[in-house]
Structure 1
Amino acid sequence: MADGQEVFLRARNRKFTAFSEDEESQWKGPFYFIQGADPQFGLMKAWSVGDCDNGGDEWGQEIRLTEEAVQALNKLNPKPKFFVLCGDLNHAMPGEKWQKEQEQDLKNVLKKLDQAIPMVFVSGNHDIGNTPTPETVAGYCKSWGDDYYSYWVGGVLFLVLNSQFFFDSSKCPELKEAHDKWLSGQLAIAEQKKCKHAIVFQHIPLFLKNAHEDHDYFNIEGSVRQALLERFHKAGIKAVFSGHYHRNAGGMHNGLDMVVSSAIGCQLGEDTHGLRVVVVTAETIIHKYYSLTELNNQGIDKELMALIKQK
């Protein structure tokens, strides 16, 4: 159990078998899932001492916060369809000091999640490196499952992407090419209108506030962004959920909702440590960010719960 193999059902061969496509490809009514991002064990200490390259030698705060997140999830009734964690699982980059210890401590916390709630893992830059290599991607896949894949829930097609390929694929061009070819095939399925909605998960946001903003560390470069937005629009993608920014942000573009969720772990703005509740109805996708305290003490508010339970 130490490596998590008996605990987490991992994506393999670009599929996530927690859900059967035969059973889940048809709409069955409203449902909800929970999105989290950036537990990033070690960043809070590193940020506090101003040394993000070497200072992440403690992560007790992140352990406690992730335990709060798991406790909140376990209390929810009805249970969410799944819990997606949108990258930066740990702060230490692949091969760096403390990386293995942070990874194991995160697994030890996450295995306390109710096993009726499948976990969907998304790779972030700290998980595979700012400039990933075949070796760092393979290391992530060994620990957490495929770095990109798709699955169906209740007639909705979900695509998990590796956004580092959009950021810098210079050391793994063949992997980027394979990812792009796979993505084209998945978007073609979405475009054929065989799904009620199509939703994307990735670590780096396409944009933070608007689709024409300048490029910086926290978003996708402009030309790559515009090409992806065009492809997503053509395929009918309704929403992209991401993390990376450690603040809540996002905006609409051409019918696509770019949702940027703040962190379970270190906050870089004024937001609280939290999770996002996402309700999927026949007509729309509605979401609300909750602090861990709110979700633990009050749960999901009545308006969202009414949407979840409607027939």
Structure 2
Amino acid sequence: MEKSGRKEFVITTNDRHYLPFHNPQQRTWDGPFYFIQAADTQLGFQERCVEGRKDPGWTKEVEWTRQMVKDINKIKPRPKFLVICGDLLDAYPETLATTRLLQEEDLKKELLSLEIPLVCVCGNHDVGDIPTPSTVASYRASFGDDFFSFWCGGVFFLVVNSQYYQDSTKVEILAAEQEAWLEHQLEQVVHQKPKHCVVFQHIPYFISSPEEDDEYFNLPKQLRDNLLSRLYKAGVRYIFCGHYHRNAGGQYLDMEEVVTSAVGAQLGPDTNGFRIVKVLHDKVEHTYYALGNAPTHIDLTQGTENN
């Protein structure tokens, strides 16, 4: 949108729908396509947490986000969309609201250059580790719905707010709304049988194994088992997450969970980057690329990339 000659960030969700693909034609499989998955742009995390600075800035994350957008804009044919799986910003909404507004302004400024649709996923830093109705409302006002679904090229995508699973003590009504919504969405998956069904969320169900113990970077096992079972039985076979700031993932039966490292600060040996995800007739393939090293051409017929 243009306002006074200046391009503005536009919220693209409404009533649990993603507007860029909100038309019946998207329900039909039209051949292979691909999208970009990223996570944790998290402006401010590098200097605050990794470097331990007392007055942290976020110029590094701005540069990394800018490079991501440049890389994506060069790829041909165009990806269908970019999804950022949570922790868009670092500053918590209730305790660092002023800092968060500055981070938000800088992030949106970089994302305005993106030439494909953007899907935003809610992370713990976006609503707080213990979300409240106020922090959720703030996120929605800035980035749109925190849970929603959409069809794209015959594939059904579910965007979930994983923080409701981590701690819903102050948002029980909102968590119940997501639960009722999710149940309805999974019923649609069963009855409409999309080519694939893919879930996007911030916190992984597990880092490497569904049987692993609870820790900061996964969801509580008490909830994990039930949720994974429900998703699997409905027909979900791919889950894409962030949060870990490292690449990881594993299998629940033949359902794959992919944990993608950060565009922003790293907490392990990986390099800042994003994932190219190919949606093929019988499977979904994905490869992680460091910033500045992504291919500029995607061949969906041969499954190869060319620089």
TM-score category (smaller protein): over 0.9
Partner of 1:82: 81
1:300, distance to aligned residue in structure 2 (A): 5.3
Which of 20, 31, 37 does residue 39 from structure 2 map onto? 37
Deviation at 1:245, TM superposition (A): 0.1
Whether contact under 8 Å (2:36, 2:277) holds in the other structure is: yes
Gaps (5+ residues) in structure 1? none
1:56 deviation in Å?
6.0
Q: Which amino acid aligns with 2:110?
A: V
SS at the partner of 1:112?
coil
Counterpart residue type for residue 279 of structure 1: K
Q: TM-score, normalised by structure 2?
A: 0.93
SS at match of 2:17: coil
Kindly provide the CA deviation profile for residues 255-300 of structure 1, in whole angstroms up to 9, marking residues without a partner as x: 11000000000000000000000000110010010001211xx435
Aligned to 1:263: 262
What is the distance in 1 between the residues matched to 2:9 and 2:303? 31
1:273 alignment counterpart: 272
> Which position in structure 2 is the counterpart of 1:299?
296
Flag structure 2 segments of 5+ consecutive residues without an equivalent.
none
SS in 2 for 1:251: strand
Taking structure 1 as reference, are residues 196 and 178 closer, same or farther at Cα in structure 2, changes over 3 Å only?
A: same
Matching of residue 48 in structure 1 with residue 45 in structure 2:
no
Match of 1:202 in 2: 201
Could you tell me how far apart the structure 2 residues matched to 1:252 and 1:80 are?
Answer: 26
Q: How does 1:218-237 map to 2 (within 5 A)?
A: 218-237=217-236
Determine the structure 1 residue equivalent to 2:30.
28
Do the aligned partners of 1:198 and 1:236 also contact (CA within 8 Å) in 2? Answer: yes
Judge conservation of contact 2:205–2:219 (CA < 8 Å) in 1. yes
Aligned residues: 300
Do residues 160 (structure 1) and 159 (structure 2) align?
A: yes
- AA aligned opposite 1:10: T
- Is the partner of 1:68 in helix, strand or coil? helix
Partner of 1:99: 100
SS of the equivalent of 1:18 reads: helix
What is the CA-CA distance between 1:301 and the residue it aligns to? 6.6
Deviations 1:33-56 (CA, angstroms, capped at 9, x unpaired): 0000001000000123436xxx46
Q: Are 2:169 and 1:145 aligned?
A: no
Kindly report which structure 2 residues correspond to 1:281-296, keeping only aligned pairs within 5 A, or say none. Answer: 281-295=280-294
1:126 and 2:125 aligned: yes
Does the 8 A contact of 2:68 with 2:263 survive in 1?
A: yes
Q: 1:254 offset after TM fit, Å?
A: 1.1
| Secondary structure class of the residue paired with 1:289 | strand
Change (3 A) 1:103 1:124: same
- 1:106-129 CA distances to partner (integer Å, 9 max, x unpaired)? 000000111xx1000000000000
Letter matched to residue 117 of structure 2: P
In structure 2, how many angstroms separate the alpha carbons of the residues matched to 1:56 and 1:41? 13
Identity of counterpart residues, as a percentage? 43
Q: What's the CA shift for 1:194? A: 2.8
Distance 2:109 2:238 in 1: 31
Structure whose residues are more often strand by fraction: 2
Alpha-carbon contact 1:30-1:307 (below 8 Å) kept: no
Task: State the alpha-carbon separation in 1 of the partners of residues 76 and 302 from structure 2.
Answer: 12
Cα drift, residue 252 of structure 1: 1.1
Distance in 1 between residues matched to 2:302 and 2:13, nearest whole Å: 32
Q: Look up the equivalent residue of 1:307 and give its one-letter code.
A: G
* 1:172 correspondence with 2:171: yes
1:192 partner SS = helix
- Measure, in 1, the Cα distance between the counterparts of 2:273 and 2:88: 15
SS in 2 for 1:188: helix
- When the two structures are superposed, what TM-score results if normalisation uses the length of structure 1? 0.92
**Does structure 2 retain, via aligned residues, the 8 Å contact 1:87–1:125?**
yes
Q: CA RMSD in A?
A: 1.9
Q: 1:5 to 1:12 in 2, by over 3 A?
A: farther
Q: Which amino acid aligns with 2:227?
A: L
Aligned-residue offset at 1:217: 0.5
How far off is 1:243 after superposition? 0.2
TM-superposed CA distance for 1:17, in Å, is 1.1
